[in-house]
Amino acid sequence: MPPESYQQQQGAIVSDQFVSSFVWRNPTRIVYGLGKLDTLAEEVSGIAGVGANVFLVTGRSFLRKRGILQQVLEDLAEFSVTLHDRANPFPSPDDADAAANHCRESDANVVVAIGGGSALDLAKAAAILATQNGTSRDYMGGGVNFENAGLPFIAVPTTSGSSSEVTSGSALWDWDAKNHFGLSSPMMFPDVAIVDPKLAMTMDQNLAANTGMDAFTSAFESYWNVNSEPMSDALALEVIRIYSDNLVRSAIQGDMESRAACAIAATMSGVGYSNSPPNACHGIGSPLTLFWNVEHGQAVGISLAPLLRWNARAIEHKMPALLVALGVEDTDAACAKITEIIARCGLHTRLSGLGVGRDDISQIVEHSRWERLGFMPNPMTEDELHETLVGIL
């Protein structure tokens, strides 16, 4: 027989998982719907006023080639727009500092980003750094608090997976030092997120698969996080259900219905994990990107199935609802379905497919972000991680 109904299991989570207290954070106003990019000027005016100075962050050519950039500039004709079309994949601290300096020089009243996670993260960093006295490296890892509030920020995602449009962090990559840092503060939440599924239609199969796998994986990590609570759990379960039903179709067929479903799921994932963050899969994915140039969604998703199996016993009381969300009956079937989804999306399910050999496993273990693995409910040693990774060679 199939597991109990989703509603019954949702109730079981709340009653079984006693949480004495928690604080829920997400101040971003979310504007969702087909064609909502057309409301950008209205949102800018509402935040900064007519005639405001707008600092617009985009990638180098993606929006321009598709005619979207020209449309946006025409819509923002009543404002003074400074274009920063220099967002690269995996922005570096130097990229963030350059964007912040450009933003200051523009005397911006509001920052707008249109693009994937890298463009949004870069703009988010620029919006907060433009009002500070230091550089990005001064504030990395939360060592020093920001002195001043950042500029207002409007995020418009064109992908469905980074969730940066509703989160308070900006991922930065130091390629020379082979290190992955982040800027994070409650002051960095975007003021507005405009989620227009029509923009998600610009993604090719690989981009849809990678970005979707990022948000899909993040939902599992949020669900098993030792600091999870009923509200983040409810969002994580719905995100898992939506992606389970739509991610393969979004990547392969790319129809509007599946792309729209993944667009809202990505935003929901970010709202939830802003309060119960991604952890182990992202911690392991970091060296895969830094040393093997693996795309982010692929890097984090490849360890999802074995880490779900690792943590399942520690969240035994929460597993029934997770199985319902995935549409399976037990943990083995859950891991098999995750692996199937990854493969059908055209991504690798084995580390060997990424160019990783047995002799490389120790390097991954050494450079994994162990502070993030510490949020798993079932603790893992270096030897245990080594064995787990050998299992997916």
* Model pTM score: 0.94
pLDDT at position 141 is 75
What tens-digit pLDDT sequence spans the chain (393 residues)? Answer: 334 433 344 443 433 567 779 999 999 999 999 999 999 999 999 999 999 999 999 999 999 999 999 999 999 999 999 999 999 999 999 999 999 999 999 999 999 999 999 999 999 999 999 999 999 999 987 667 899 999 999 999 999 999 999 999 999 999 999 999 889 999 999 999 999 999 999 999 999 999 999 999 999 999 999 999 999 999 999 999 999 999 999 999 999 999 999 999 999 999 999 999 999 999 999 999 999 999 999 999 999 999 999 999 999 999 999 999 999 999 999 999 999 999 999 999 999 999 999 999 999 999 999 999 999 999 999 999 999 999 999
- Provide the pairing of β-strand 80-87 with 179-184: unpaired
302, two tokens: 């490849």
Could you give the domains of the chain? 6-24+203-390 (1.20.1090.10), 36-195 (3.40.50.1970)
Q: What angle do CA 121, 82, 99 make, to 5 degrees?
A: 35
Give CA–CA dist 115/119, Å, rounded.
5
Give CA–CA dist 320/8, Å, rounded.
10
Residues constituting the chain: 393
Residue appearing with tokens 């922005």: 91
**Beta-bridge mates of residue 81:** 54
Task: Phi first, then psi: give them for residue 330, nearest 5 degrees.
Answer: -155, 175
Say if CB 152 and CB 109 are below 8 A apart. Answer: yes
pLDDT at position 201 is 97
Handedness of CA 156, 43, 48, 267 (dihedral sign): negative
- Name the nearest CA neighbour of 360 among 292, 300, 297, 303: 292
pLDDT at position 143 is 62
> Using CA atoms in the order 221, 222, 223, 229, what is the torsion angle rounded to 10 degrees?
150
Say if CB 157 and CB 199 are below 8 A apart. Answer: yes
> Using CA atoms in the order 363, 369, 370, 373, what is the torsion angle rounded to 10 degrees?
-110
- Name the nearest CA neighbour of 154 among 198, 186, 124: 124
122, two tokens: 């870069």
Say if CB 212 and CB 160 are below 8 A apart. Answer: yes
Cβ atoms within 10 Å, residue 248: 21
Helix/strand/coil (H, E, C) string of 194-219? EECHHHHCCCCHHHHHHHHHHHHHHH
* Gyration radius of the chain's alpha carbons: 20
